[in-house]
Structures are given as structure tokens and as C-alpha cells.
Amino acid sequence: MGNVLILAEHQDGKLKKTALELASKASELAGQIGGQAEAVLVGGGDEALANELAAYGVKKVYALGSGNLEKYNTLAYVKVLADLVKETQPEIFLAAASPVGRDCMPRLAGRLDTGIAADSVELKIDGGKLVATHPIYSGKALVDVTINGSPQVALIRPNSFGLGQAQSGATAELVKKDADTGELRAPMKELIKGASDKVDLTEAEIIVSGGRAMKSAANFEILQKLADVMGASVGASRAAVDSGYASHDMQIGQTGKVVNPKLYMAFGISGAIQHLAGMRTSKIIVAVNKDPEAPIFQKADYGIVADLFEVVPLLTEELKKALGE
Ligand SMILES: Cc1cc2nc3c(=O)[nH]c(=O)nc-3n(C[C@H](O)[C@H](O)[C@H](O)COP(=O)(O)OP(=O)(O)OC[C@H]3O[C@@H](n4cnc5c(N)ncnc54)[C@H](O)[C@@H]3O)c2cc1C
């Protein structure tokens, strides 16, 4: 019997959306190898978090607590996760390809003398083994990877799978453990939050995005005003980022973030394949573009052929009225 363990990231008492996405996938994979989905919450956790994971199929949750785990620390995470893996012997260990996952999981795989499939966009079981698919050559091709070591470790691009159906009332066994981080040669003294308190794009439910047509960083302000009215986050195409109109953490696409919001609004974005790779799974896509032949219209649920500099302020005013602000 092989269990599938996930690293369930959480912050300020809330699970990240990727944790629930991993839970859904882990439960599906565990069913195929005759095991169960389990999760680890580093830094501690309670029944509310465990039951939220249970709604997506997790049966057992390990909450690892210790003073050294309150802030993210690579060495501490690797030590306590390696100890947990040695104790619980999962067949597969999944984590999000997030800054935390990308930082600690390759090191953990090294510590455990196993392999890691990075940046996976699909996972399946074939002949009892995990097969992880990930893009190569800047997304021009996909390659299937299998791992000979144990556990089989894979990092998953956020929003690759979406969430399965939540089961209300499900509960998971919660195992609280005092984790020994050992002596930390590089302790984390302080964690300084970025200037923006906006929702991360990979977690956002509404995104308004601007492309090259925004023409300047100052013009992105009109998108920010629209986003404020709608409770949205602001994204950008690579052309906008490369032109210095938006910061790199706003880039959506193959070499940026993969997003899966309920509503994605693209302003002055042509819809190149590399941009679509990052937002095509959005539930509703709205595109505003001057060119009626722009490829984005083939993907959009609603399209407006117009100048964004006319549409954005109008939309902002109308939404303000509609929302009574
Ligand atoms: C290896 C590789 C990786 C890449 N990764 C990414 C990635 O992660 N993300 C990404 O986005 N791109 C990526 N790209 C770049 C991608 O191919 C496109 O060049 C880019 O997406 C184009 O950005 P854009 O749509 O903003 O600009 P453009 O293609 O220049 O489109 C601008 C659009 O704005 C419209 N427009 C102009 N003025 C107005 C106006 N006033 N009102 C309304 N519409 C107007 C035009 O009609 C046009 O359709 C990658 C490319 C490569 C080769």
C-alpha cells in the first residue's frame, strides 16, 4: 500500500488554494495505488485546516510544530520533512511549484537520495509508478518523467488541475507532532513582506490584465483602479513586463504564472499561445482589443472590439455605480 503525502502550505491560519488542489490530486492518485492521501502542515495546524483538506480527500494530517518553524526556513523544513518521510514512508510526495516548494523540495529529494519531477502540469499512475508531465524547451514540448528513488517527489505548477468536488462534513485524523529542526546554521531572523498586500495572482478569483497596449507603467494605474472596484488582482503579458510597464511577478503565461480565476479580463493583449498557456483555464474570459482579428477573441467568452483607454474608465465608473460605491 502506498500513500501520497502532500506539503499543504498555509499562511495566517488559512490554506493556500494550491494545498486543496494538491489534496484533490493526491486523493485521486492514492486511490489508484491502493493507499490514502495524507498531508503535512509545517508550523502546526488545527482541526479546521485538517477538515478543509479532508473535504478534498485527505485522510490523515500531520501538523509539525516548533518555534523554528513559525517562519519559513529551508534547513528546518528539509530536516522535519525528511524525518516525517522516513517515519511514514509515503510512496509519492507532492508539493506546489511555489517559492517554498521550489526552494525546499529539491533539497529534500537530495537528502532522501531520490529524484524529483519539477514543474509538473499533469500526473498519472502507470504500472503502479508516478508519471509526471512537464514542459521543456520553453513549453514547445512536453516530457514524461518517472522517478526511480523513493518516495517519488513531484512539484506541481499551481492551477494545473483545479479542485475536485468538495465533500462536506468529511474529517481527517490530525496528528500533532513536536518537530525537531536540529541546530539551524542559517536561522531566519525576519520575514519582510513585499510592499503589495494584493492577493497573489495564482490565488486570485478575478484578474484584470494589461498588455503592450497599456503603453506605460503609469497607464497601469487605470487597471489598478478597475481592480480595486472589483476586488481583483492585476496581471500583465510578457510584452508589458519586458517593456517595464509591470513587474515580473505580474507576468502571466508560460514563463510567468499559471492562473485559474473565475473571471479573467485581458486589455490590449493579443492572445499569443505563450500567454494563453497561463490563463486558458480561467472560467470566464473577457477580452478588450482594438483588432477584431486578435487571437484572444478565439478564447474569449465575451469580446469587446474597442480602445481599452475608453473601455476601462467607463467600466470602472459603471461598476462603481452598480456596486454602490
Ligand atoms: C519562450 C517564450 C515564452 C513566452 N512567455 C510568455 C509569457 O509567459 N507570457 C506572455 O504574455 N507572453 C509570453 N511570451 C511572449 C508572447 O509570444 C507575446 O509576444 C506576448 O504575449 C505579447 O504580449 P501582448 O499581447 O501584450 O502584446 P502584443 O502581441 O503586441 O499585442 C498587443 C495587443 O493590443 C492591441 N491594442 C493596441 N492598442 C490597443 C488599445 N488602445 N486598446 C485595445 N487594444 C489595443 C493590439 O491590437 C494587440 O492585439 C513568450 C514568448 C516566448 C518566445
- 234 and 150 in a single domain? The answer is no
- 126 and 257 in a single domain? The answer is no
- 233 and 107 in a single domain? The answer is no
Write down which residue in 145, 178, 211 finishes a domain.
178
- 143 and 235 in a single domain? The answer is no
Q: Is 129 part of any domain? A: yes
- 237 and 160 in a single domain? The answer is no
Q: Is 32 part of any domain? A: yes
Q: Which residue has cell 523513493?
A: 150
What is the extent of the structural domain holding 223? 201-322
- 165 and 273 in a single domain? The answer is no
Q: Distance from the CA of 212 to the center of ligand 1, in angstroms?
A: 6
Q: Distance from the CA of 319 to the center of ligand 1, in angstroms?
A: 27
- 17 and 54 in a single domain? The answer is yes
Q: How far apart are CA 67 and CA 209, in angstroms?
A: 40
- 267 and 304 in a single domain? The answer is yes
Q: Distance from the CA of 304 to the center of ligand 1, in angstroms?
A: 17
The strands making up 233-236's β-sheet, listed across from edge to edge, are 233-236, 206-210, 263-267, 284-289, 302-305
- 124 and 24 in a single domain? The answer is yes
Domain of residue 85, CATH code: 3.40.50.620
H-type helices in the chain, by residue range?
A: 17-32, 47-54, 74-88, 99-111, 220-230, 238-242, 273-279, 296-299, 308-322
Q: Is 50 part of any domain? A: yes
Q: What is the pLDDT of residues 262-316, one digit of tens each?
A: 899 999 999 999 999 889 888 899 999 999 999 999 999 999 999 999 999 999 9
Domains contained in the chain, number: 2
- 147 and 247 in a single domain? The answer is no
Ligand 1 atom with the smallest distance to the CA of 253 is: 8
* Strand partners for 134: 143
- 274 and 139 in a single domain? The answer is no
What percent of the chain is predicted at pLDDT more than 90? 77
Q: What is the pLDDT of residues 141-188, one digit of tens each?
A: 789 999 999 999 999 988 888 788 899 999 999 999 999 998 888 888
pLDDT at 137 over 80: no
pTM of the entire predicted model: 0.78
Question: Residues near ligand 1 with C-beta < 6 Å?
Answer: 138, 211-213, 237-240, 251-256, 268-270, 272, 274-275, 278, 288-291, 294, 307-309
- 14 and 69 in a single domain? The answer is yes
Q: Distance from the CA of 96 to the center of ligand 1, in angstroms?
A: 27
Q: Distance from the CA of 138 to the center of ligand 1, in angstroms?
A: 16
Q: Is 183 part of any domain? A: no
Ligand 1 atom with the smallest distance to the CA of 270 is: 49
Q: Phi/psi class of residue 162: alpha, beta or left (left: φ > 0; alpha: ψ in -120 to 50)?
A: left
Q: Is 193 part of any domain? A: no
Q: Distance from the CA of 124 to the center of ligand 1, in angstroms?
A: 33
Q: Is 229 part of any domain? A: yes
Q: Is 174 part of any domain? A: yes
Q: Is 188 part of any domain? A: no
Q: Which residue has cell 507532492?
A: 94
Q: Which of 137, 223, 252, 255 to mutate to test the pocket of ligand 1 (most atoms within 8 A of CB)?
A: 255
pLDDT recorded at residue 195: 60
pLDDT recorded at residue 52: 97
Domain of residue 279, CATH code: 3.40.50.1220
